[in-house]
């Protein structure tokens, strides 16, 4: 199958933005519940959500304090923040609009409906009264759109680039969530150790992995077990290992995949060598920093290999 690079690029980014919108909605919802459930005086600050997305600089351009109102406006309704729910939905819609001829008709209808819903409701959903309902709707609609894509698309290049974007974005968000759980959330100077299980449970909830963790590992939520499970559980669709394995599966049928596979396999080896049981919080943080750089490199290689126009160096025009 022959596919224009610009079409492949738009499908890839459509998938990334849809996944980012869903993951940000999940994280915001889980953290909102945590803040309400955790004992008074032990709750972490709202800045944690901005740090997860590594968005301190753009946040600081328009806000002075990391309070609930500012942070949730930034993450839910900010039209200029590439990590906000509304921005991601709008960007996904634009990419679907320009690739409608290679997607099922229903995908455009559902994405457009999601955009209209977000445009009308995002700003009004920053407050606690409507927040849960809005985030739940975003999560459910993103899942429906992804389910529609996965169950109707032929397993061709369009499907492969959608899967690449979807899995790469998911792996990135998963590592960010665990990084904050291991670092800022569990800093001894900030929190009582008794609330650690609540925080790790919140992070599992944000990854929609709490039930699976209890069935696979057990009822006790412990830091090392959570990190091992979320990083390396082969059967968990949101684990880093599952995402990397899926990316490899979609890269292999593509031409010119050597460089991307090289970067990917280096990341997989790094993940297999890391041992959460012997690592300190600082070690885990350093590992995740290096690992995210590898994910960024993989994303850059995908862009340069399949989306950038090739320059003719033969002199034949």
Would you list the domain boundaries of the chain? 5-306
User: What pLDDT score does 285 carry?
Assistant: 83
- Whole-angstrom distance, CA of residue 175 vs CA of residue 171: 6
Three-class secondary structure of residue 124 per DSSP: helix
DSSP state of 311: P
pLDDT at 315: 41
One DSSP character per residue, 173-234 reads: HHHHHHHHHHTTTT-TTT--GGGHHHHHHHHHHHTT-HHHHHHHT-S---HHHHHHHHHH-T
Q: What is the pLDDT of residue 2?
A: 57
Contacts of 12 (CB under 8 A, 6+ apart): 161, 162, 164, 165, 302, 307
Q: Compute the distance between CA of residue 254 and CA of residue 302 in angstroms, rounded to an integer.
A: 11
Residue 172 neighbours by CB under 8 Å, 6+ apart = 292, 295
What is residue 206's predicted lDDT score, i.e. its pLDDT? 85
pLDDT at 183: 59
Q: Would you give per-residue pLDDT tens digits along the chain (317 residues)? A: 556 889 999 999 999 999 999 999 998 998 888 877 776 666 678 888 898 888 999 999 989 899 999 999 999 999 999 999 999 999 999 999 999 999 999 999 999 999 999 999 999 999 989 999 999 999 999 999 999 999 999 999 999 999 999 999 999 999 988 887 665 554 544 455 677 788 888 889 888 899 999 999 999 988 889 999 999 999 999 999 999 999 999 999 999 999 999 999 999 999 999 998 887 778 888 898 899 999 999 999 999 999 986 544 434 43
What's the pLDDT score for residue 1?
53
Is 301 in contact with 258 (CB distance < 8 Å)? no
Cβ atoms 22, 139 nearer than 8 A = yes
Residue 95: which of 155, 9, 21 has the closest Cα?
Answer: 9
Exposure of 175 in the CB half-sphere (CA atoms within 13 A): 26
List helix spans (H) across the chain: 5-37, 47-52, 56-62, 68-72, 85-97, 105-121, 128-152, 157-182, 196-206, 210-216, 223-232, 240-251, 258-273, 281-306
Q: Which DSSP category does 101 fall into? A: G
Q: N- to C-terminal Cα distance for the chain?
A: 25
How far apart CA 282 and CA 91 sit, in angstroms, is 36
């Amino acid at each position: 199958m022959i596919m224009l690079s610009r079409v492949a690029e738009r499908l890839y980014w459509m998938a990334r933005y849809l996944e980012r919108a869903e993951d940000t909605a999940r994280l915001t919802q889980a953290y909102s519940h945590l803040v309400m459930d955790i004992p008074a005086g032990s709750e972490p600050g709202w800045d944690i959500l901005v740090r997860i997305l590594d968005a301190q600089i753009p946040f600081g351009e328009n806000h002075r304090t990391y309070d609930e109102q500012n942070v949730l406006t930034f993450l839910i309704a900010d039209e200029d923040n590439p990590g906000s729910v509304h921005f991601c939905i709008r960007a996904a819609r634009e990419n679907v609009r320009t690739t409608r001829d290679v997607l099922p008709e229903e995908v455009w209808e559902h994405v457009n409906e999601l955009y209209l819903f977000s445009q009308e409701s995002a700003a009004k959903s920053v407050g606690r009264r409507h927040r849960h309902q809005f985030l739940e709707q975003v999560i459910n609609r993103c899942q429906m759109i992804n389910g529609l894509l996965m169950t109707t698309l032929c397993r061709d290049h369009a499907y492969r680039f959608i899967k690449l974007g979807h899995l790469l974005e998911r792996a990135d968000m998963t590592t960010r969530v665990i990084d904050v759980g291991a670092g800022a959330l569990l800093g001894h100077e900030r929190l009582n150790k008794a609330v650690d299980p609540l925080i790790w449970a919140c992070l599992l909830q944000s990854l929609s992995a709490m039930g699976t963790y209890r069935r696979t590992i057990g009822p006790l939520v412990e830091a090392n077990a959570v990190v091992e499970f979320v990083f390396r559980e082969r059967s968990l669709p949101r684990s880093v290992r599952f995402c990397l394995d899926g990316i490899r599966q979609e890269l292999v049928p593509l031409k010119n995949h050597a460089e991307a596979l090289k970067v990917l396999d280096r990341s997989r080896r790094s993940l297999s060598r890391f041992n959460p049981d012997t690592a300190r919080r600082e070690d885990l943080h350093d590992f995740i920093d290096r690992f995210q750089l590898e994910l960024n490199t993989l994303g850059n290689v995908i862009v340069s290999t399949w989306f950038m126009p090739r320059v003719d160096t033969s002199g034949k025009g």
